[in-house]
Amino acid sequence: MAYSKQHPEPGDLIEIKRLVYQHWALYLGDGYVVHLTSADEGIRCLSGSSDPIMRKKAKVKKQLLKEVVGNNAWEVNNKYDRSYTPLPVKEIIKRAESYIGMEMTYNVLWENCEHFVTMLRYGKSVSDQVRGIQEMMDFNREVFTYVLVGGTVLVLTTFGVSPVAAILATNISATAGTGFLKLFLSSSSRQSWNEKKSN
């Protein structure tokens, strides 16, 4: 279905094209959107951060679309409708309005503005713009594991440890290490936005 960017419908996803990233909002109707942003407007959907796990506090705001867009190009972009079934419009709007004013965690990889609005529309958080970053992190973690295993086996065999024992010990250590790293980055204590809302 073709959409005119000037005439969004309630429940539509709005993609706002900033200079180096896309900001996302959900259209409520009557010219208003709901979106995830910082109180000082300093949050960026793909910004760098001095925080090693890229976490910030964010706030859900209801604002006029024209204020959020400013001079940037924008369009209705319900691209995930091909893969996920949107919730009924009344439910999308009710969910969106229930979050207005709420302070939330912002994490560029797992809880960004696109994740937020897709969670409202589909009941599932999705973000294409960070998928490439996550794939790169997974690849780097695998390379790191292979280098760690190979280097450790070489060192252990140099000191007379059996190659089989060295490989076994190193694999166990590498698996534990990369598992801990993944756990640290994803923070197992982190609740999903849906869980936070139900508490």
Whether 23 is catalytic: yes
Whether 113 is catalytic: yes
Q: Tell how far CA 165 is from the center of its chain.
A: 40
Q: Which long-range contacts (CB under 8 A, 24 or more apart) does 23-27 make?
A: 23/68, 23/72, 23/113, 24/113, 24/114, 24/116, 24/117, 24/118, 25/65, 25/68, 25/113, 25/117, 26/92, 26/96, 26/117, 26/120, 26/121, 27/65, 27/76
* Cβ contact 106:100 at 8 Å: no
Q: How far is CA 5 from CA 31, 33, 84, 124, 187, in A?
A: 12, 14, 22, 24, 38
3-class DSSP state of 70: coil
Catalytic residue among 23, 35, 45, 115: 23
* Alpha helices by DSSP H, 58-162: 65-69, 89-99, 113-122, 128-158
The residues annotated as belonging to the active site are: 23, 113
